[in-house]
Structure 1
């Protein structure tokens, strides 16, 4: 059966970087025909009956993973989200054909690359990890990832940047221009934030596009338990939570609403029809619903 790669979708750079790392090995080196599926939380998984499955930078809730493991011939999870690790801990004891690699010190893209490859991690994926972990230790990573987000997530588009450093330098130059504009946007969206209540905490909340939401919330979270941003889709509202080093563990907040992520960066979604006053016994107020 054709292998399937399920990766974190929704425009996530680390998710597609993980898929790219797998593609370089499975398709380019092994010559396999692989199906790639961009997954999102609170959406059902694809049909994996009798297939070898890789979950990259992503993991379904435990109950869904149990069903998936019962159907698939082999399952490999390569992830770094603390909430997913806590939820699925010990699941491999029930399913011998399940392999789990969780490492909160690496991003999904780097975990995937080092799982499949012996070669050093490409600079592109290092930059993606630098942003995803919010480390910012690589000078060009802000510009590289800003430019990367302006391109379609397609293997043929991203592949040249893995091997050609001059092309990566061109990407960084593009990103400088993008970031000059984004920095002005960040200032404007910070001004639009209003105080609201989520899970009993009074926090800044703002309606904000995904391309700058991490930066906006990272600045808004200073001095508060965390900050929240949202973006409306046709049938649901996508929430992002960010906290400072002194703030709350937002993976615990997100788990109240069926989401998850990291201690400092997490997310969840709610139906647009859901009451913002009480959801899963937690308050969501002043968000415009």
Structure 2
């Protein structure tokens, strides 16, 4: 009997979507499951229901909490977890020592997509994947090429089948289209930053400046953390749930990751995420506090 291949990838993330595109390039018939760090129990159950003793599960640019990871490992034939988020490393290491059918690949200096490509196809890694990595880990070695490629790919978030078709293509046309998008997004980002006023929230012992935006959180957060000299939160309310992105720069304390962990989230040292319910969010707002 042929193995069944399932792929879990980081939802609403260009790097996660590109990592899933790499999986599709390797396994065209694999079934895809996008997940965010705060996911619904019914979504996890739907994934578990698809897994049996003949299933190989690849998890890219993402890692489940330890208990849910164990549920997957115990049902599957094999689980391979490819990730670069430092907050997940200790859990992945622990699981690897405990289960023979679990393998993990980790490098905090690469992105999920580039790690996946290297794992399945070796090097050299295609330029498009490198451009995704360059923004995701905030290196910006390729400057405008990185900016314009990611602006173009943003349109295909959660559409790995579209990005798969672009991985090995010549990039000049893509970059040209991306440049037009970049010019508009620069305008939107600068407009937001000029108008932004913080909502003060209490996370642990820290008062944190939070800003209401669901778009361009990395770019806006990086600018605002430099402006205020401290880590900032970007939040977006969806129904009765509030999604957070935290951004900080080197030398700031607490870091983005430290703040995210206090709300049950994770990620990188200076770029992390978490989520809480709306009533919990209302309870941490410092009403009548600082507003400018």
Compute the TM-score of the two structures, normalised by the length of structure 2.
0.88
> 1:184 and 2:187 equivalent?
yes
Aligned length: 273
How far 1:169 sits from its partner (Å)? 1.5
> 1:14 and 2:19 equivalent?
no
Unaligned runs of 5+ in 1: 28-32, 278-282
Give 2:26's aligned residue.
25
Q: Counterparts of 1:242 and 1:65 in 2: how far apart (Å)?
A: 27
Contact 1:220 1:227 in 2 (8 A): yes
Give 1:249's aligned residue.
255
Instruction: Report the RMSD for the aligned CA atoms in angstroms.
Output: 1.8
Out of 7, 15, 28, the position equivalent to 1:5 is: 7
Unaligned runs of 5+ in 2: none
Structure 1 residues 177, 256: CA separation in 2 closer, same or farther (over 3 Å shift)? same
Query: 1:38-187 to 2 correspondence within 5 Å?
Result: 38-43=34-39, 44=41, 45=44, 46-47=47-48, 48-50=51-53, 51-139=55-143, 140-151=145-156, 153-165=158-170, 168-187=171-190
Determine which structure has the larger helix proportion and give its number. Answer: 2
Q: Which moved more, 1:114-123 or 1:144-153?
A: 144-153
How far 1:4 sits from its partner (Å)? 0.5
Compute the TM-score of the two structures, normalised by the length of structure 1.
0.88
Question: Whose relative contact order is higher, 1 or 2, with alpha carbons under 8 Å and at least 6 apart?
Answer: 2
Structure 1 residues 59, 155: CA separation in 2 closer, same or farther (over 3 Å shift)? closer
Give 1:216's aligned residue.
220
Q: Which moved more, 1:219-228 or 1:91-100?
A: 219-228
Q: Counterparts of 2:281 and 2:160 in 1: how far apart (Å)?
A: 40
Structure 1 residues 23, 181: CA separation in 2 closer, same or farther (over 3 Å shift)? same
Q: Counterparts of 2:37 and 2:268 in 1: how far apart (Å)?
A: 14
Spell out, residue by residue over 1:192-232, the C-alpha distance to the aligned partner (whole angstroms, 9 max, x if none). Answer: 2315134233333211123x111111010014330111111
